[in-house]
Structure 1
Amino acid sequence: MKNTTPLVALLLLCASCSPNEKLAPIGAGGADRSDAGAAPDASEGDLFAQLPEIAPTATGQRGAAATVDLRGTLAAIEVLKRGGNAVDAAVAAAGVLGVTDPFSCGIGGGGFMLIYLADGDEVIALDHRETAPSRLEARLYYEDGAPVAFDELVTSGLSVGVPGTVRGWSDALRRYGTLGLGDVLQRAIQVAEAGFDVDETFFDQTQRNLSRFQAITSTKALFLGPDAKPWPVGTVFKNPDLAATYRLIAEGGERAFYEGQVAAAIVAAVKEPPVEPGSALDVRAGVLELSDLRDYETRVRPALSTTYRDYTIYGVGLPSSGGIAVAQALNLLEAYDMATLTPVEVHHRYLGASRLAFADRGAFLGDPEFVDAPVKGLLSKDYADSRRALIDLAAAPSAAAAPGDPYAFQSDPSPAPGSARAAKGGSAGPNDADDNETTHITVSDAAGNIVSYTCTIEYEGGNGVVVPGHGFLLNNELTDFTIPPDPSAPHPNVAEPGKRPRSSMSPTIVLKDGEPALALGSPGGSTIITTVLQILVYHIDLGLPIDEALSAPRLSQRNSGDGSTDAETAFLSAPEAEGLASLGHALSDAATLGGEIGAATALRFHGDGTVTAVAEPVRRHGGSAMVEQPR
């Protein structure tokens, strides 16, 4: 959400106002201050008392933050100024985004948090990806021998994975933070209670989901007005149920979410979706149980890494394919001297490298607790050398690339029984090619700690079901599983009980000479991978300042069956588009992606000790970047 009325003291709105009403400047009031860790009021220097103008770029010293929403960024900066570290600030920002950007992220979903710890000079990946319920069977995704239609599966209980966000926040704070949930959630509680002004992004997202929101009683009651239409731009939108849920978590910790009334309400919403009487929408029931919530666990995994020129690139590994695919593509590109190439030649190689990375992604990758994926082989520089010849420098292919044989580059070239070697394919697939949602938070602190955090409820609006009485949408993460046309076909990413579906999330941290240089990430479904890759190529190889690399028009090649590449409209009118067409590239307008590819945020660390925070200036109507001490 973006601030469309910067001088209105939104968080001082009168507590007696009706839940969702037309925006008006109202005097002092606000949330109860009796809670431990409550955010400071205006007399104590409340950053929210008079919201500043939005800026997509900021440079200065000490901590920095960038998110899609002004209030999310402010929440991070507020925590940093109060002495919290980057992990505390990232969770605070995510809590606020769960209120103001509810169709992209929230406590009904999950994510991957990549953390650079300055003291130990190490990078850690905290996986709180959703898991399949213990009673889920792949056969439930088929009807009359054919896969259930994707649109029908999205809006159903069958698409809901066990949410990981709250446990992820709790574990991140307990292991690496300095504050507790009760401290970092106070601002989110206040925003949910006081409300915020509906902007065009919020309105547009609601409008695109109107028919299914109208069909779910709890969702209709929260996100639609009395006329069952989206709340108009300028309306003050409040979510008291979410504020109450946050309070339960702040007071009772993660157990307040995974056990008790919240857990019971989640299970009920999955097993008996609250569909409007007489609705024609077929909302299938899911199989989530209370034990699935109670038993959910995060995973702390070593960060995945590769080198690219004189940089070290860190990302998250499986069950996300993002870090692996980005690393593979960079390995392929590393042999080219980009400085000597024309822009068309650079883009041609970028597209070719992405195509080959996606071919392997589609064939080999899945949850590492279920699949013996050949990660070492995929990341081998020798494997990249063997595949690079498939990038035809004179012409673009008109069909999908076949996967390679990374097992030949493993220390043990023989795959384990039941591994992914027999899997074939390589395209992004219909299940993960057209989602432009999710959100990314990038934060650093004065001590040098960095968090690159991508969180999501998957599709725009998740599965469309608000948990009655608790104010948050459930995810549809299980649609990230691969559903082969033949239910007996093997694949490393098929649904299984307790399995985490393959992700494309690509939070990234880059070091140079052992020192932090860059942190970034993006939403966008499978286009996350190409967005992060393109920004890295533009910044490292082409020398664009990070704000220009992030805002430049994008194109995304994900090994499509016909060889076509999605491109933003601005790129289609660029000179490079004509040059790529002459090489045989078929560029398609990214209409299925809402016309936009990604909505990234980034931090660039400079040698003089300053940092530049960057958010998208235009996509999703622009994001917000701030630093603790502006230059």
Structure 2
Amino acid sequence: MRSRSPATVALACGLVLSIVVAPVAAAPVATGHGGAVATISEQASQSALAILNGGGNAIDAAVAAAATLGVTDPFSCGIGGGGFMVIYLARDGRVITIDHRETAPGKAGPTLFQQAGKPLDFETAVASGAAVGVPGTVRGWHEALERYGSMRFAQVLAPAIAVADKGFKVNATFNGLIEQNVAKFRQFTPTSELYLHDGKAIPTGTLLRNPGMARAYREIASGGVKAFYEGPMARAIVDAVNRPPVAKGFNVRAGAMTSADLANYEARIRPALRSTYRGYELYGMPLPSSGGATVAHALNILEGYDLKSMPRARAEHLYIEASRLAFADRNAYLADPEYIDAPLAGLLSKDFAATRRALIPMKTAAPGAVAAGDPYAFQDDPSVPLRPPVRASIKMAPENAHTTHLTVSDKDGNVVAYTFTIESWGGSGIVVPGYGFLLNNELTDFDVTSPHPNIPEAGKRPRSSMAPTIALKDGKPAFSVGSPGGSTIITTVLQTIVNYVDFGMPMDKAVNAPRISQRNAPETSIEPGFAGSTQARALAGFGQRWESHAEEIGAANALVFNADGTVTAVSEGKRHGVGTALVQQRGH
């Protein structure tokens, strides 16, 4: 195994293994034989590798990593939320997906976030029981383990239980996230007790234990999926949603979730969304995630250009404009496929992409938001009933940038790309009393004004942007990639693929390059330090304009499967702290 800085770590579950952690100054990169993992958390990556070394497969390891992230990165993910898992099954040579996105309770309707006919203030909507969707994560983990794993909850949850019991040191990133959410967390008594001290964020360096979350995991480990959806924990969830545990002097909007909503929750096993790009087969999430379709649509537009031969600024200009057009179509047409007939075949048509490509000026940026195209004309069956008129540009509903992504492979060649979330940093802000996990605010991903395909409806899954992606070449895994970031997930995955495939960057450089995110807005989102750079000035020559407020975009993780049979794990070198990339040693 080639490494930057090897270290031997004894894990709580008793396994001793060698890991590779890159120094903070560089992107974490590890290359070797056997299984590999990349996450944003050292403890989560160690949990995954411990499971792999203990004989588990990539699916087992992914659940172990995800459970640990629920402890160490609780403001972006956990069992109070949901997500999307893309799995490559080496023995069958096929890709499947597990949709365990949260659903709206049975009493939800189009006026969920309206008061007196007007939309609620967004922050008011977020910090409420009304924002909480029926959590899908535990059901998703159960389906993954039962169908494709080799271990059960008791084994894969053991590392996370150990971290929750023994605690971990709060770092500057964790402290900073609490600081951002003090106003929200103060509203709820169990949240304040866990994450605040004298009304302020617990300081960096604090050893944080979470016995409530350890209890939740133990109940699931012993009682299985029913312990979450039908037992005392389920009652605690319903109570927290319908009677939020507010601190004295606060009042928040209550939800209307029932025990039946929880007990009847189902994950969906869906065929992966397949597209092609320059010799690669790309597999991503289908609806209700818009991520796979929008990435594919933008790449279809870009495929008509020889980006490699162009000056870099022109190629990036075209990337920005292709993304603008893809988002116009995404915003207008995509939502939960069990509630709408989205024109997906037309949207993914190479011919439709050609019509959109023809609208891009080679030398100038669009002056602002653009109108959606007409994918219905490119459906397999042109006589689609209820064909709506071509929509004008539709403004996106607010979509928070706070999620997490991990990716794992094993020695047998199975691969998992997994993105899951509780939506905003800290979700709804409600910690379930006695159980230590935050509930999501996923229902704010619905659009609050109708008519729109993504309005709230009973049992509906809000449209997502999550885009876990596995790429094959010549029928074998080539790379996987994914990221958090709300709607910027799509552009992060898209830009990383363009960096890697078109610009020929090594994956660590592709992941760590400055991010540019255009989502059909007058101005393009950028990261701190980009404005005024040589790259920015070159793009300004094409008329590209930047948002005045720059902020970190995404926190990606990736795997690359090399021609010599090795695998390279890659994580972030600067965003959301620093990620972790680990590989197995020979012999495991």
Q: TM-score band (shorter)?
A: over 0.9
- Over 3 Å counting, the alpha-carbon distance change for 1:426 and 1:172 in structure 2 is farther
Whether 1:329 and 2:302 are equivalent positions in the alignment is no
Matches within 5 A, 1:555-566: 555-560=516-521, 563-566=522-525
- Counterpart among 349, 352, 355 of residue 321 in structure 2: 352
2:82 to 101, 104, 110: 110
Structure 2 equivalent of residue 575 of structure 1: 534
SS at match of 1:139: coil
Superposition pairs for residues 181-200 of structure 1, below 5 Å? Answer: 181-200=153-172
Going from structure 1 to structure 2, the CA distance change for 1:607 and 1:52 (only over 3 Å counts) comes to closer
Q: Is the 8 A contact 2:34 2:586 kept in 1?
A: no
Indicate which of 574, 584, 587 corresponds to 1:628.
584
1:342-390 per-residue CA deviation (whole Å, 9 max, x = no partner) reads: 1110111000110010001000001000000000000000101111111
* Residue in structure 1 matched with residue 144 of structure 2 by the alignment: 172
Which of 373, 386, 406 in structure 1 is aligned with 2:342? 373
Structure 1 8/302 Cα, relative in aligned 2: closer, same or farther at 3 Å?
closer
- Alignment-derived partner of residue 431 in structure 1: 398
2:237 maps to 1:269 = no
Aligned pair count reads 580
Q: In the aligned structure 1, how far is the partner of 2:481 from the partner of 2:8?
A: 31
**1:194 partner amino acid:** K
Q: Which residue of 1 aligns with 2:37?
A: 65
- 1:94 maps to 66
Other-structure match for 1:27: none
- Return the alpha-carbon distance in structure 2 between the equivalents of residues 52 and 568 of structure 1: 23
Q: Which residue of 2 aligns with 1:77?
A: 49
- Counterparts in 2 of 1:347 and 1:66: CA distance versus 1, 3 Å: same
Matched residue SS, 2:34: strand
1:234 corresponds in structure 2 to: 205
Percent identical among aligned pairs is 54
SS in 2 for 1:113: strand
The corresponding residue for 1:22 is: none
Query: Match of 1:577, SS?
Result: helix
CA contact (8 A) 2:88 2:96 kept: yes
The aligned counterpart of 2:362 is 393
Q: CA separation in 2, counterparts of 1:10 and 1:465?
A: 34
Q: From the superposition, tell whether residues 278 and 465 of structure 1 become closer, same or farther in structure 2 (CA, over 3 Å).
A: same
Partner of 2:408: 443
> Is 1:132 paired with 2:104?
yes
SS in 2 for 1:215: coil
Q: In the alignment, is residue 588 of structure 1 matched against residue 588 of structure 2?
A: no
The answer to whether the Cα contact below 8 Å between 1:11 and 1:195 also exists between their aligned partners in 2 is no
Does the Cα contact within 8 Å between 1:590 and 1:596 map onto a contact in 2?
A: no
* Structure 2 CA distance for partners of 1:422 and 1:237, relative to 1, 3 Å: farther
Check conservation: 1:398, 1:564, Cα contact below 8 A: no
The one-letter amino acid of 2:65's match is A
Displacement of 1:47: 7.3
Deviation at 1:570, TM superposition (A): 3.2
What 5-or-longer segments of structure 1 have no aligned partner? Answer: 1-5, 13-38
Superposed displacement of residue 415, structure 1: 3.4
Q: Residues 630 and 570 (structure 1 numbering): CA distance in 2 closer, same or farther, change over 3 Å? A: farther
After superposition, residues 203-214 of structure 1 pair within 5 angstroms as 203-214=175-186
The CA deviation at 1:392 is: 1.1
Task: Give the structure-2-normalised TM-score.
Answer: 0.96
The CA deviation at 1:581 is 1.1
Whether the 8 Å contact between 1:11 and 1:194 is mirrored in structure 2 is: no
Q: Deviations over 1:272-314 (max 9, x none)?
A: 11111113xx410001100000000000000001111111111
The match for 2:312 is 343
| Cα separation, 1, equivalents of 2:513 and 2:130 | 38
Whole-Å separation in 1 of the counterparts to 2:390 and 2:170: 46
Q: CA deviation at 1:423?
A: 7.5
Q: How far is 1:412 from its partner?
A: 1.6
Matched, 1:509 2:470: yes
Alignment partner, residue 17 of structure 1: none
In 2, the alpha carbon distance for the partners of 1:176 and 1:368 equals 25
Offset of residue 11 of structure 1: 7.0
User: Structure 1's 198 and 428: CA in aligned 2 closer, same or farther, altered over 3 A?
Assistant: farther
State the distance in 2 between where 1:124 and 1:52 align: 32
Asked if the contact 2:21/2:29 (under 8 Å) is kept, the reply is no
* Residue 532 (structure 1) shift: 0.2
Task: Check whether the contact 2:101–2:461 (CA below 8 A) recurs between aligned residues.
Answer: yes
Q: CA deviation at 1:490?
A: 1.4
TM-score by length of 1: 0.89
In the alignment, the residues of structure 2 paired with residue 491 and residue 630 of structure 1 have an alpha-carbon distance, to the nearest angstrom, of 53
> Residue type matched to 2:103 in 1?
T
Distance in 2 of aligned mates of 1:380 and 1:630: 44
**Residue 51 and residue 375 in structure 1: after superposition, are their counterparts in 2 closer, same or farther (change >3 A)?**
closer
Structure-2 residue corresponding to 1:615? 571
Equivalent-residue separation in structure 1 for 2:28 and 2:367 (angstroms): 38
CA positional deviation for 1:413? 2.2
Contact 2:397 2:446 in 1 (8 A): no
8 A contact 1:11–1:190 mirrored in 2: no
Q: Is the 8 A contact 1:126 1:301 kept in 2?
A: yes
Task: For residue 62 of structure 1, give the secondary structure of its aligned residue in structure 2.
Answer: coil
Q: Which residue of 2 aligns with 1:535?
A: 496
Inter-partner Cα distance in structure 2 for 1:393 and 1:52 = 40
Say which SS state the counterpart of residue 182 (structure 1) adopts: helix
- Whether 1:259 aligns to 2:219 is no
After superposition, the CA RMSD in angstroms is: 2.0
* Counterpart amino acid of residue 145 in structure 2: L
For residue 236 of structure 1, report the CA deviation from its aligned partner. 0.5
Cα deviation per residue 1:180-233 (whole Å; 9 max; x = unaligned)? 1111000111100000000011100000000111111010011112x1211111
Q: Is the 8 A contact 2:9 2:18 kept in 1?
A: no
Structure 2 Cα separation of the partners of residues 64 and 11 of structure 1: 17
